[in-house]
């Protein structure tokens, strides 16, 4: 275990292994210095076929394997949770309760515990027990409809809005809010983090524009969803793309000057002129390659950036200068964010195989050597190479 002192140093988290947003939330806490112990099953596991060495979302953890369906396994995990500040789980509503680990049980044993529960639809509501994925949650939240090209279908924005932005990130935020409150009140609580809630929350600013008539919901019809020619993506001569975001008047004026645009076409930014302006800009950007446009426009204030592939982003000079990406055991990945002036966050450790730290964690958290040996013999806990 690292001796580093991140801003969450001293916080203990137990994470029940899951997929996507819950591991991302736990990763954020681990990046910030929390001691995160992940509980994996003794038999089988969860995952989408990602090999351990590539599992960025599992970085920074200590890995324990325990059988939650065995009475002694459940009691082992309860003893760990008794000493934790936070529990994170991503089961469907009711599963934790059926395991005998519901909030009533946990808070009776550890009154200051914060229980972060990550779901898609939430702990209650008509859809609470239904299956779903990111695409479904952002669709119901209203976040998906307006994303895409005019006269085309909605475009899936990877799984960034539901799983990660509206899911794991909001889970971590909620957990930290509850931790701060618990330090004042002495009482923990349940954090009901739902991806449909979080995806809806991310649209707050757009709702404000919609209410004032500044946003049209149709795809490619408003400033922020590809309608405005001065805020969009353009193809270059080499088939690559660049972006411009010249929203403010001063940036727009510089765009016109740099590209020598005809004022007769571009002076009036009213939506009735957008179609002509867009087609003109599209023709201009097709005259040079992406890298040539970078040479011409990167050091201007027209709000410009090339559209980089994820594999290209780590090598951009700005990202390299700031150290936006790092390499851990040969795997390139984003560094923790945000940044701190005193208690810096770092990648604590790469993902390890389930059960790698079983004995070490139990020993440090108060289990006697003989007791650990008995639990192994009974098949209640397991190391990385044990097979039940």
Active-site residue, from 31, 40, 67, 163: 163
Residue 25 CA: distances (Å) to CA of 116, 164, 326: 9, 8, 20
Residue 124 bears catalytic tag: no
The encoded tokens of residue 81 equal 């949770």
DSSP annotation string for 55-108: -GGGTTEEEEEE-TTSHHHHHHHHHHHHT-SEEEE-PPTTHHHHTT--HHHHHH
Q: What residues have CB less than 8 Å from 131, skipping those under 6 apart? A: none
Residue 133 bears catalytic tag: yes
Maximum CA extent, the chain: 85
**Helix crossing, 21-31 with 169-185: angle to 10°?**
60
Q: Give the separation between CA 22 and CA 24, rounded to whole angstroms.
A: 5
Q: Are 232 and 244 in contact (CB under 8 A)?
A: yes
Active-site residue, from 133, 187, 207, 318: 133
Question: Which residues are annotated as catalytic?
Answer: 133, 163
């Amino acid at each position: 275990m690292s001796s580093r002192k991140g801003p969450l140093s001293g916080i203990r988290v137990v994470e029940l292994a899951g997929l996507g947003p819950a591991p991302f939330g736990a990763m954020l806490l681990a990046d910030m210095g929390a001691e995160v112990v992940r509980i994996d099953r003794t038999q089988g596991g969860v995952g989408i076929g990602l090999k351990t060495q590539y599992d960025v979302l599992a970085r920074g953890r200590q890995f324990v394997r325990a059988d939650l369906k065995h009475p002694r396994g459940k009691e082992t995990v309860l003893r760990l949770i008794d000493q934790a500040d936070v529990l994170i789980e991503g089961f469907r509503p009711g599963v934790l309760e059926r395991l005998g680990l519901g909030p009533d049980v946990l808070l009776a044993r550890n009154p200051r515990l914060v229980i972060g529960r990550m779901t898609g639809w939430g702990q209650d509501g008509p859809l609470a027990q239904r299956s779903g994925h990111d695409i479904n949650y952002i669709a119901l939240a209203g976040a998906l409809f307006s994303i895409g090209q005019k006269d085309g279908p909605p475009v899936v924005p990877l799984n960034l809005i539901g799983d990660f932005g509206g899911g794991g990130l909001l889970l971590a935020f909620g957990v930290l809010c509850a931790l701060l409150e618990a330090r004042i009140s002495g009482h923990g609580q349940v954090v009901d983090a739902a991806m449909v809630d979080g995806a809806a929350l991310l649209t707050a600013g757009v709702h404000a524009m919609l209410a004032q008539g500044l946003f049209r919901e149709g795809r490619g019809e408003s400033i922020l969803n590809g309608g405005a020619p001065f805020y969009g993506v353009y193809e270059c001569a080499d088939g690559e793309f660049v972006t411009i975001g010249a929203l403010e008047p001063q940036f727009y004026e510089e765009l016109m000057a740099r590209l020598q645009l005809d004022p007769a076409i571009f002076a009036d930014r009213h939506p009735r002129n957008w179609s002509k302006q867009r087609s003109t800009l599209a023709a201009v950007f097709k005259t040079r390659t992406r890298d040539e446009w970078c040479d011409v426009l990167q050091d201007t204030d027209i709000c410009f950036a090339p559209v980089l592939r994820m594999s290209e982003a780590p090598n951009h000079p700005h990202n390299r200068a700031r150290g936006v990406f790092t390499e851990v055991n040969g795997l390139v990945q984003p560094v923790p964010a945000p940044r701190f002036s005193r208690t810096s966050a770092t990648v604590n450790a790469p993902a390890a195989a389930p059960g790698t730290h079983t004995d070490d964690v139990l020993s440090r958290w108060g289990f006697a050597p003989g007791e650990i040996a008995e639990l192994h013999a009974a098949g209640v806990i397991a190391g990385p190479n044990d097979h039940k």
